[in-house]
Structure 1
Amino acid sequence: MKRTSDLIRAAAFVLAVIALVPSSCSRREPEPSPAPAETADELRLKETTVRNVTDNPITYKIYPAGKLEAGEIREIAPGAIERFRTASTLEIEFNTGRKDAVYSLDPGSPYSFRYDEGEVIDLFLGSHGRADAVDLAPWVPTPQPVVDRMLELAAVSDKDVLFDIGCGDGRIVITAARRYGARGVGIDIDKAMIEESERNAAAAGVERQVKFINMDATKADISEATIVSLYLLPESNALMRPILEAQLRPKSRVVCHNYAIPGWEAKQAQTETVKDENGEDHYVYLYIR
Structure 2
Amino acid sequence: MFTPRTARAFGLAFAVFFTSASLATLSVGAQPEKKDAAQKVKSKIKITLPREDAELKIEDKLMKVTGVTREFETPDLEAGKLYEYTFTTTWAPNNYTILTRTKSIEFKAGDDVVADLTKADPKVPDAAKIRWVPTPDDIVDEMMKLGKIGKDDVVYEPGPGDGRMLIAAVKKGAKKGVGIELDPKKAEEARENIKKAGLEKQITIIEGDALKDRDYSEATVVLLYMGNEFNDLLRPILDKQLKAGSRIVSHRFVIGDWKPDTTKTITGADGDEYLIHLWTVKEKKK
Compared with structure 1, are the counterparts of its residues 206 and 275 closer, same or farther at alpha carbon in structure 2 (3 Å cutoff)? same
Q: Is the 8 A contact 2:221 2:249 kept in 1?
A: yes
User: Following superposition of structure 1 onto structure 2, how do residues 87-236 of structure 1 map, counting pairs within 5 Å?
Assistant: 112-114=92-94, 124-125=95-96, 127-129=98-100, 134-219=127-212, 220-236=214-230
Deviation at 1:236, TM superposition (A): 1.3
Q: How many residues align?
A: 177
Deviation at 1:137, TM superposition (A): 2.1
- Whole-Å separation in 2 of the counterparts to 1:144 and 1:231: 13
Q: Is the 8 A contact 1:170 1:200 kept in 2?
A: yes
Q: Is the 8 A contact 1:168 1:194 kept in 2?
A: yes
Unaligned runs of 5+ in 2: 1-47, 57-89, 103-125, 282-286
3-state DSSP class of the match of 1:127? strand
RMSD, aligned CA: 2.4
Q: Is the 8 A contact 1:136 1:233 kept in 2?
A: no
Say which structure is richer in helix.
1
Please tell me whether residue 276 in structure 1 is matched to residue 249 in structure 2: no
Q: 1:259-286 CA deviation, whole Å, 9 max, x = no partner? A: 1111211xx2211012223111111000
User: Following superposition of structure 1 onto structure 2, how do residues 26-105 of structure 1 map, counting pairs within 5 Å?
Assistant: 78-79=50-51, 81-82=54-55
Give the aligned residue type for 1:146: I
Which has the higher Rg, Structure 1 or Structure 2? 1
- Whole-Å separation in 2 of the counterparts to 1:111 and 1:283: 27
Q: 1:114-150 CA deviation, whole Å, 9 max, x = no partner? A: 3xxxxxxxxx04633599x933421011111111111
Say which structure is richer in strand.
2
User: Following superposition of structure 1 onto structure 2, how do residues 250-261 of structure 1 map, counting pairs within 5 Å?
Assistant: 250-261=244-255
- Whole-Å separation in 1 of the counterparts to 2:217 and 2:274: 28
- Whole-Å separation in 2 of the counterparts to 1:249 and 1:125: 30
Deviation at 1:157, TM superposition (A): 0.7
- Whole-Å separation in 2 of the counterparts to 1:136 and 1:197: 18
From 234, 237, 240, give the equivalent of 2:231: 237
- Whole-Å separation in 2 of the counterparts to 1:179 and 1:164: 15
- Whole-Å separation in 1 of the counterparts to 2:244 and 2:96: 35
- Whole-Å separation in 2 of the counterparts to 1:255 and 1:167: 13
- Whole-Å separation in 2 of the counterparts to 1:191 and 1:129: 19
3-state DSSP class of the match of 1:176? helix
- Whole-Å separation in 1 of the counterparts to 2:101 and 2:168: 29
Compared with structure 1, are the counterparts of its residues 143 and 127 closer, same or farther at alpha carbon in structure 2 (3 Å cutoff)? farther
3-state DSSP class of the match of 1:208? coil
Q: 1:209-268 CA deviation, whole Å, 9 max, x = no partner? A: 000001111121111000001111112111111111001001100011101111211xx2
Deviation at 1:77, TM superposition (A): 5.6
TM-score with structure 2 setting the length:
0.57
- Whole-Å separation in 1 of the counterparts to 2:97 and 2:238: 24
- Whole-Å separation in 2 of the counterparts to 1:235 and 1:126: 8
Q: Is the 8 A contact 2:221 2:246 kept in 1?
A: yes
Q: Is the 8 A contact 1:145 1:275 kept in 2?
A: no
